[in-house]
Amino acid sequence: MTESAPGCAEAVVLSVVVLSWNTQALTLACLRALFGETPRHAREVIVVDNGSHDGSADAIAAAFPQVRLVRNPDNRLYAAGNNQGAAVARGTYVCTLNSDTEVQPGALDQLVDWLVEHPDYGAVAPRLRDPDGSVQRACMRFPTYGSALCYDSWWGTFWPGRRVVARYEMHDFDHLHDLDVDQPPGACCMLRTDEWRALGGFDETLSLFFNDVDLCKRLRRSGRRIRYLASAVVLHHRGASTRNFARMLVLWHKNRLAYYRKHHGGLGVAWVRLCVRLRIWEEWLRIGRRNRHDPARRRAERAHLRQSVQSLSEP
């Protein structure tokens, strides 16, 4: 790991941690938005490049020499990469910001102001919007036994499973006004740096998914509140890095299992494994139905499914 860091003459209020992996154009757009305004609260920007092979790190260093750039030789995934950045943060507040975002003017200052004025809150997050201006409904409630069964499965397509999914995804919230939430958008979230460090940051056993959910869960269990602030807006291009990651689905299931093990114990693990098994049988039947007249394709898709199932049992 190498880090380049310019001098800092002014006391830093906010440290913005941007994790980058093979998203050069998006990361540069993210940084242009950050440096395109003069913030009221002095900030530093820390970019952790997770072993990109598209020239991202060199492009960032050339275009934005004021960035504190951490170069990793390989992809250490989301939790570890963000923890690296937060570990060297000098600000009173730390904001984890996805590389596929563009912060709108004043948004981060609004988040800082909220935490300054509300000491009983542990975290605050902005409203996300799509490039076409529509609101991203990104807030969710904490996962439950019901959501483990119904989310992304046949069980969630009819009542009462549909109601379980709707509650989990907060279909009852329009995302156009402020609200205390369980799980705000993970693409941009701000905490006090000392509180982040007291919590230990992201749990690195939840390497790519559920790490933000776990952090929020621990915040809430410690009696801290989390605020969704609709007036602060961040443009989000939705999952550009994870789209490039071939093992995403397998890691999602592994990280979900680890989350339930941590927060629900042995019963949670047994339940999620049962849910996964039901989901596998569901997919097996779906493959058969959609390839009823193409036996070769049916065999190929089921072989791929078996390979994915085998990967789930690997460490």
Residue pLDDT, tens place only, 126-136:
999 999 999 99
- State the pLDDT at residue 10: 73
Paired strand residues for 129 = 135, 235
Residues of the chain with pLDDT under 70: 1-9, 239-247, 312-315
- State the pLDDT at residue 3: 60
CB contact set of 228 (below 8 Å; sequence gap of 6+): 124, 125, 126, 127, 139, 175, 178, 179, 180, 181, 184, 185
| Domain definitions of the chain by residue range | 2-139+175-243, 143-172, 248-312
CB contact set of 236 (below 8 Å; sequence gap of 6+): 98, 100, 101, 128, 129, 130, 136, 138, 185, 187, 188
- State the pLDDT at residue 308: 73
| Cα four-point dihedral sign 65, 69, 75, 81 | negative
What are 175-199's pLDDT values in tens digits?
999 999 999 989 999 999 999 999 9
- State the pLDDT at residue 307: 76
pTM of the entire predicted model: 0.89
- State the pLDDT at residue 239: 62
- State the pLDDT at residue 273: 92
Q: What spatial distance separates the first Cα and last Cα of the chain, rounded to whole Å?
A: 25
| Burial class, 126, CB count within 10 angstroms (exposed 0-12 / middle 13-18 / buried 19+) | buried
Q: Which CATH number fits domain 2-139+175-243: 1.20.140.10, 1.10.3720.10, 2.30.30.230, 3.90.550.10?
A: 3.90.550.10
